Amino acid sequence: MSLAKAVRAALEEIADPDRAPQMQAYMKSAMPFLGVHAAPRRAALKRVFADNRLPGAPEWRRAVLTLWREAEYREERYAAIELSGFRFYREWQTLYTVPMYEELVVSGAWWDLVDDVAVNRVGPLLAAFPDSMRPLMLEWAHDDDLWKRRTSILCQNSFKDRTDTALLYACIAPSLSDTDFFARKAIGWALREYAKISPREVIRYVEATGISGLSRREALKHLPLP
């Protein structure tokens, strides 16, 4: 049995069809759900991935994209993202994976798929390969695609004191005038994470920059009012 078939079988075995419509409605997803919650999904996928180890980086990337492209249910796309970060394949997180993650971001085009890729896949690549990834994130920050812009803004969310402040602000800048909810929310979330390390700097930036009310509220959510 192929890995993709094994994943589908495992998900179907623990699916709760009665919950599927509510999950789909909550996520506002055109793609239907099987009705599998996160904890049992992760446990089942961990077993499947452990039992179906892939021999090389090309096979791994191919398996991720097969799961993603052939997905009939949203949980299969969650599975593709989890496979992309599975512990067996950490050494294959190189610049060769960037086109794969770009496809997931552009075709995923919704926060539940894009944000995981942005923070937990693209972010580590930026940390590991800054000379190549920094200019790419700047390019994405100016892209017409909302989700590539969002990825560029969020990719440093786990960096803490390693945050490249100049890059963060440069990635935010092209989206400051964007009226889209997801662009504004991303700006606020990224600044809120950075505020855990540099609260005064975030307050200064918010006061000096014309960010939207939504972005401002998100950025200063856990800070005293300036």
Give 6-65 as a 3 state SS string: HHHHHHHHCCCCCCHHHHHHHHCCCCCCCCCCHHHHHHHHHHHHHHCCCCCHHHHHHHHH
pLDDT at 226 > cutoff 80? no
CA distances from 208 to 86, 110, 141, 216, 226 (A): 41, 30, 20, 11, 12
pLDDT over 60 (residue 154): yes
Give the model's pLDDT for residue 1.
60
- Mean pLDDT, to the nearest integer, of 126-146? 98
Question: What was the pLDDT predicted at 55?
Answer: 95
Contact by Cβ (8 Å): 214, 185: yes
pTM: 0.95
Fold of 93-226: Leucine-rich Repeat Variant (1.25.10)
Q: 1-91: which CATH topology?
A: Leucine-rich Repeat Variant (1.25.10)
- pLDDT, residue 225, reads 58
The rounded mean pLDDT for the chain is: 96
Domain ranges within the chain, ordered by starting residue:
1-91, 93-226
